[in-house]
Structure 1
Amino acid sequence: MPWIQLKINTTNDNAEHFSDLLEESGAVSVTFQDTYDTPVFEPLPGETRLWGNTDVIGLYEADIDTKQLVNLLKSSKLFTNELHYKIEQLEDKDWEREWMDNFHPMQFGNRLWICPSWREIPDPNAVNVMLDPGLAFGTGTHPTTALCLQWLDGLDLQDKVIIDYGCGSGILAIAALKLGAKAAIGIDIDPQALQASRDNAQRNNVSDRLSLYLAKDIPDNLLADVVVANILAGPLRELEPHISVLVKSEGLLGLSGILENQSASVCDAYQPHFELDPVMIKEEWCRITGKKY
């Protein structure tokens, strides 16, 4: 079935209003996109991340009355002659299949490969993580995930316990287990992430060494030799007391999900408890690592 897409070019101040309007008009989904194609990353609960120039995109079933849709848009108190919008028909595609066809095996560091579960393993002798992210975040395609995977590949994880804070698909925890870690703990705020991590752990035959917790249910006195958190700069700063306490004395910390221009503020938050390494940068994203005092 084809779809009808309505795209409104507006500002961050007005985007929420237009989002509400499109939802009320019957849109099956509403998304925000930077006018200059800057990607959106997962916000905190109750938080919406927008830009100065924002496209609000509503997706409708093909039988929507587009004339009525335009009239509704023009009835908005924010509608002006300068407001730009576009209505177009999208071709019918199997979007899940399209995404799967473009997710290829990827190598990180010297030993590690991330392989979609539906594709053949390119190197049977490598450390292969078979991944199906499902509805959770984390495939290895984003520079921040790549930075974390490369860091883990370069560590001696033998007999180590690792915590993946904000585990998403479980990609980092499972990679650590396949790289020799004794045990891993995945923590997330989203039950769907824990389910995706659980499924991927079973797919990789490491479920007996992976424990999963919602953030609100973390056990007391939980400690790890290595803690990795690939989330966002704001949450990393806010969660510093909760993340730092999870790292053993002389344990290692790896943080990502941070833009290069945000690195100084994140370093400042963790500097009191960690001897930090030089910041590693990849495509304007960065990774912060260090050892706990």
Structure 2
Amino acid sequence: MKYLNLIRYKNLLLLAFMQLVILFGFLKMQDIPLALALWQYYLLIISTVCIAAGGYIINDIMDQDVDGINKPKKAIVGHSISENFAYNLYVAFSIIGVGIGFYLSKIIGRPNFVTVFILCAALLYIYSTSFKQIMIVKNIVVAFLLAFSILIIDLFMIFPATDMTNREQMLPVFSVLIDFSIIAFIINLLREMVKDLEDVNGDYNNGIQTLPVALGVARTTKLVFGLSFIPTICILYYMYVNLFELQFATVYILGFLIGPLLYFSMKIWSAKNKKEYAHLSDVLKLIIFLGIIAIAVIGINMKYYAAQ
């Protein structure tokens, strides 16, 4: 179990689940050509998961002192697993992820796309060793990597299968995934800021510059409150422009995305302690999960509407 906790298996399962939902709940509903066969898409998921797992491991290696303060009961590296063994696991996961990425890049006839996997692995390493010390930058990097796990599907499934004969059919699907990645980025950025609020004591004691350390907990909380309305406005605007005719999808989004986001906004205004920030971080994680389901709801509703 300690090894599963080291790689944050719950987060990795959520990542894999998201990519499966995008395939079976959305892309397969669109009746469009896809660049990868099903088993190759599974390899894309494995590659993404491996690189993410490597990122979690190297982050724990570099965060041993901070975790000793923020999460003393959950610290793994240096306690139940040696730092040397953890580093070997990091290297193994990263090599597997990049290796599969190289294979898939050749399959779709874009061998230079392996750079995407190399850059992701390198970005996770730099984040753990350097970016984490830079206020805001570390939050943006983590939020971007979640969004990119959606964009990589565009790059490997849709873009290589697009040509002049099907461009009009493929571009709307390409655009939907970009829109979802942007919303996922914003929500995950909020979650990273809330996690900084939760971990402010450990970050302060270890000299890590975060918004709560620089601005204070109260000001950062109010800032997060203000920013929390951005994804709500974006989702409502997107729904009005693109999903107005999809009644079931509209009801789902209002009830399961807008509702929880408004709940978060109300609660973050008065949040003051670690327990409340941890709860709100979980709320945002739930919203991300519900957003994943929304992709399938929209895909199914679009197919049903087209059949009418």
Structure number with higher relative contact order (C-alpha < 8 Å, ≥ 6 residues apart): 2
Q: Give TM class, smaller chain.
A: under 0.3
> Which structure has the highest strand share of the two?
1
TM-score for both structures, normalised by structure 2: 0.25
